[in-house]
Chain A
């Protein structure tokens, strides 16, 4: 069974940092691109960042570029998102999601999400 389990969310003050993790199981992690997608309360889906299967290529939304860093450890089947200089507008549920290497833009499975709240 495919599982993506996010952790690391919580309440943080503006300007603070958090590191999200996503533990993957039930599939060959190293064969999938991985994505972070966020959803602010009551709002739509927003692509945050993505990383290719071997970790050599990454991309970011304009709103987080320079503040967030995506990475992965294929030996540990884990995806990360380091978030620095957090702002109130970063408050959202952060989903970890996978996409097959043959179709890296087609997200076929999502985790349950971890909530990040940026507030003083």
Chain B
């Protein structure tokens, strides 16, 4: 099973600043990587798929990059609604798709 490791566990950021979240796969997942946002009490929302493609309706301040085993989600100029938990998710091998443990982005 491919293990997805996200860092840091918690990221403290001031509104208006940028945030960089990392996700590392234990083996290559090519570009089969998605990012989800989950706010308290809400369902997850798809942000990025294919490592770098924004989902429908996602603001341009969200960007994804990487391939293979190293991936990054960057949120530029954080808005109040962006404080949430972010999960990466690989779907490279249909038998074993796994999520990372999440990164909480909180107000500094």
Please determine whether chains A and B interact with each other in the same assembly: yes
A positions within 8 Å CB-CB of B: 44-47, 50, 59, 62, 95, 103-108, 110-113
In the bound complex, residues from chain A placing their C-beta under 8 Å from that of B94 are 50, 59, 104-105
B positions within 8 Å CB-CB of A: 1, 32, 34, 36, 38, 43-44, 46, 49-50, 55, 85, 87, 89-92, 94-102
Q: Across the interface, do A47 and B34 meet the contact criterion of CB distance under 8 Å?
A: no
Mostly helix, strand, loop or mixed at chain B's interface? loop
Cα distance, A108 to B101, chains bound together (Å): 19
* B85 (CB) vs chain A CBs: closest residue: A44
Q: Across the interface, do B43 and A45 meet the contact criterion of CB distance under 8 Å?
A: no
In the bound complex, residues from chain A placing their C-beta under 8 Å from that of B43 are 95, 110-113
Given contacts A103-B49, A107-B46, contact A62 B1 (CB under 8 A): yes
Cα distance, A74 to B46, chains bound together (Å): 25
Q: Across the interface, do A47 and B95 meet the contact criterion of CB distance under 8 Å?
A: no
Q: Across the interface, do B44 and A45 meet the contact criterion of CB distance under 8 Å?
A: yes
A–B complex contacts, Cβ < 8 Å, 7 sampled: A44-B100, A44-B102, A104-B91, A105-B94, A106-B34, A107-B46, A108-B55
In the bound complex, residues from chain B placing their C-beta under 8 Å from that of A108 are 46, 55
Distance in angstroms from B99 CB to nearest chain A CB is: 4
Cα distance, A101 to B97, chains bound together (Å): 16
Cα distance, A101 to B34, chains bound together (Å): 16
In the bound complex, residues from chain A placing their C-beta under 8 Å from that of B91 are 104-106
In the bound complex, residues from chain A placing their C-beta under 8 Å from that of B36 are 45, 107
In the bound complex, residues from chain B placing their C-beta under 8 Å from that of A106 are 34, 46, 49-50, 91
